Amino acid sequence: MIEFTMPSLGADMEDGTLVEWRVKSGDFVKRGDIIADVDTQKGLIEIEVFDEGTIAELIVKEGEKVPVGTVMAILIPVVEKVPAIKKSRIKKEPIKEMVKEGSIKVDDRLKISPLAKKIAKEKGIDLTAIKGSGPEGSIVKKDIDLAVAMKVESHVEVTGGKKEIAEKGLRAAIASAMSKSNREIPHFYLETRIDMTKALEWLRKANRQRELKDRLLTIVLLIKATAKAIKEVPSVNAFWENGLQLKNAINIGFAISLRKGGVVIPAIPEADKKSLNQLMDLLNDLIPRARALQLRSSELSESTITISNIGEGSTDKVFGVIYPPQVAILGFGNIVEEAWAKDGELSARPVVHVTLAADHRAIDGYLGSRFLMALKRNLQKPEAL
């Protein structure tokens, strides 16, 4: 059987309306005969038939609108001369823009999107410590935002006139870290008083044999005593990142307050392995540079626990806010002369109030107090520090 279908007369012709059949069933038609009139958007067009045969059936009614290709009539062929023509579908592939691979020199410079770079500059973020997650491993905005939120990045690669930006960036960095800490870390607090008589006595004797510039400050004793106490209660020296991660290196973050506000916390790497002299030399180097905002980011990013030392001439106690992802912060108040009862006797002794703020997800009260007792014992034997 031969199907006569609605012909396509133009690429933009979708359908046609049969106006009038020129034949009726039973008629014999030859190739090229006009078989019908079809109305299109271009007007009425005579439609020819390309096959010979007898009209068996007129399927589409006059006045009916049908899409191109619809079977309109059936013919009985005279003889099956013309083989059926296969329909070949053209596969429509997307045309890719063929890029000529010239040997464009790869720019090995740090890849960072201009936007990310702008924000990094404003927030005083050091880029060398950041891994890019953008195209071609580039650093993108997301990476900078994360860096700001996660760490107190008070890196200040300060050169010349950019100091104000760094300080503004610093304030912003501290603010976001503290608010995150409060939001996420369930703090609990412990406190104790430590008699500093033996420690100060030892210190004065030690300083008498030292040159003026080599004199030791009380803080180095506190740092060393803390390091020794950590060895006895290691779980205070850890990170909380979906689970407790103990840290074997004891890097004590030492809070240095800046004169116009803000605090910078360089890490004292492996404080337990350093002698008192080495600790003092380290502070002589760190403190002035910190005050001039010239610390390198690497010095700021590795603390495993933090000491907040309000220092002389200030309040007695300080309760710290933990710096995520650390799990503890130790607060040393001012050394003041206080009444001290011992074996039924009362005497005036130099006393320091020590507080511990800890992350209850990582540590509980029992371990916290054991840590403080260890600290107390260490400070009674200064010569062993």
Partner 1 sequence: MKEEETKATILKLLQEIAPDIDPEELGMDDNIREVFGIDSFDFLQLIIGIDKEFGITTPEEDYGKITTLRSLITYVKATK
Partner 2 sequence: MEKEEIKVNLPITRELGLKLLYQMILIRRFEEKSAELYTKEKIRGFLHLYIGEEAVAVGAMHSLTEDDNILSTYREHGHALARGLDPGSIMAEMYGKQEGCSMGRGGSMHLFDTSKKFYGGNAIVGGHLPMAVGMALASKKQHLKNISCCFFGEGAIAEGEFHESMNLAALWGVPVLFLCENNLYGMGTALRFSHSVQDLEKKGAAYGVEYAKTNGMDVLEVKNAVEKATAYIRSTGKPYFLVCNTYRFRAHSMFDAQLYREKTEVDEWKKRDPILTFSNQLLKNELISTDDIDTIEDKVSTEIQKAVDFAEAGTFEPVEDLKKFVYSP
Partner 3 sequence: MTDKTTLKITYREALKQGMHEALITKDKVFLMGEDVGRYGGAFAVSKGFLEEFGEDRIMDVPLSESGFVGAGIGAALAGMRPIVEVMTVNFSLLALDQIINNAATLLHMSGGQINVPVVIRMNSGIGNQLAAQHSHSWEPFYAHIPGLKIVSAGTHEDARGMLLTALESPDPVVIFEYTSLLNMESEIPSGSGAVDIDNAKVRREGKDLSIITYGPGVYKALAAAEILASSGIDVEIIDLRVLNPIDDETIINSVAKTHKALIVEEAWRSVSISSEIISRIMEKAFFSLDAPVERLCGIEVPIPYPKHLEDASIPQKQDIVDSVLKMIRYD
Interface residue list for partner 1 (CB under 8 A): 204, 207-208, 212-213, 215, 217-219, 259-260, 283, 287, 311-313
Contact 200, 350 (CB under 8 A): yes
Q: Which is nearer to partner 3, 117 or 180 (CB)?
A: 117
Q: 254-263 in b/e burial notation, b at 16+ Cβ within 10 A?
A: bbbbeeeebe
Please report how close the Cβ of residue 344 comes to partner 1 at its closest, in angstroms. 30
Count of helix runs (H) and strand runs (E) in the chain: 7, 18
CB of 376 to partner 3, least distance (A): 56
Of the pair 39, 145, the CB lying nearest partner 2 is at: 39
Residue type, 138: S
Q: Is 109 in the site for partner 3 (CB under 8 A)?
A: yes
- Which residue among 10, 77, 261, 365 contacts partner 2 (CB under 8 A)? 10
The one-letter code for the residue type at 83 is P
Q: Is 162 near partner 3 (CB under 8 A)?
A: no
CA distances from 60 to 4, 18, 21, 51 (A): 11, 8, 10, 18
> What sign does the dihedral 287-291-292-295 (CA atoms) show?
positive
**Site residues (CB under 8 A) for partner 3, limited to 65-104:** 100, 102-104
Residue 212: name its binding partner from partner 3, partner 1, partner 2, none (Cβ under 5 to 8 Å by kind). partner 1
Question: What is the rounded distance in angstroms from the CA atom of residue 218 to the CA atom of residue 261?
Answer: 23
Largest pairwise CA distance in the chain: 135
Instruction: Enumerate residues 118-137 that contact partner 3 by CB under 8 A.
Output: 136
Distance, CA of 358 to CA of 188 (rounded, Å): 6
- Please identify which residue in 24, 93, 248, 260 interacts with partner 2, judged by CB under 8 A: 93
Asked if 358 and 188 touch (Cβ cutoff 8 Å), the reply is yes
SS3 316: coil
By a kind-dependent CB cut-off of 5 to 8 A, residue 96 interacts, out of partner 2, partner 3, partner 1, none, with: partner 2
To partner 1, the closest distance from the beta carbon of 200 in angstroms equals 10
Cβ at position 98, least distance to partner 2 in Å:
6
Contact 371, 236 (CB under 8 A): yes
Query: 40 to 79, contacts with partner 2 by CB under 8 A?
Result: 40, 42-45, 48, 50, 68-69
Using an 8 Å Cβ cutoff, are 340 and 195 in contact? yes
- 60 or 220, CB closer to partner 1? 220
Partner touching 90 among partner 3, partner 1, partner 2, none, CB below 5 to 8 Å by kind: partner 2
117 binds, among partner 1, partner 3, partner 2, none (CB under 5 to 8 A by kind): partner 3
Neighbours of 46 (CB within 10 A): 10
Residues within the interface to partner 3 (CB under 8 A): 100, 102-105, 107, 109, 111-114, 117, 136, 138
